[in-house]
Amino acid sequence: MPEVEIEIGGRTFTVACQEGEEPYLRAAAKMLDTEATVVLGQIGRMPSDRMLLMAGLMLADKTAALEDELRETQAKVGAQEKALRSAEERLADRARRIAELQEAGPRTELPDSVTDGLAELAARAEALADEVESKQG
């Protein structure tokens, strides 16, 4: 098991890790060192255990905020996915209806209301034509 020396808050620590995990350990130590530097800059010199505790708490706070943001983002993505599925379903339904109409061919029948209206217009036109003829003759 390899041992890695890391520096946090100006202090060196030797830490064991699994083979191949050295880069991850160094990256985590760098994050912890960044927070420890902030703590030491604000408070000044303190015991290692307290410095590590404060730096760890600051990282935990940042992690919690990121987790909250992740949950909010996941909820938004979920809502958008639901809206997209609904839109896709409506689009597929319309495509089916269009295909059905195309298969049925052009519609030659007119609704009764249209034929009734046309018959009424024709009757009025004939009545007007009769009236014009009677006035001319």
pLDDT digits (tens, 9 = 90+) for 49-60: 999 999 999 999
Number of domains, the chain: 1
Q: Does any domain span residue 62?
A: yes
Query: Rounded CA gap, 15 and 28, in Å?
Result: 12
Please indicate, yes or no, if residue 71 is contained in any of the structural domains: yes
Instruction: List the beta strands (DSSP E) in 1-137.
Output: 3-8, 11-16
- Residue-range definition of the domain harbouring residue 86: 3-104
What pLDDT sits at residue 118?
Answer: 87
Residue 131 lies in a domain: no
Whether residue 115 lies inside any domain: the answer is: no
pLDDT recorded at residue 137: 63
Residue-wise pLDDT for 100-118, tens only, equals 888 887 777 778 888 888 8
75 in a structural domain: yes
pTM: 0.57
Type and span of the H or E element at 2: none
Mapping DSSP onto H, E and C, the string for 50-89 reads HHHHHHHHHHHHHHHHHHHHHHHHHHHHHHHHHHHHHHHH
53/57 Cα distance (integer angstroms): 6
Q: Name residues of the chain where pLDDT drops below 50.
A: none
Amino acid at 82: K
Q: Is 7 contained in some domain?
A: yes
Longest CA pairwise span in the chain (Å)? 123
Question: What are residue 105's phi and psi, to 5 degrees?
Answer: 80, 180
pLDDT for res 119 = 86
* Residue 80 forms part of a structural domain: yes
Cβ 7 vs Cβ 25: under 8 Å: no
Q: Is residue 128 part of a domain?
A: no
To the nearest 10°, report the CA torsion of 75, 79, 85, 91.
Answer: -160
b/e map of 1-10 (b: 16 or more CB within 10 Å)?
A: eeeeebebbe
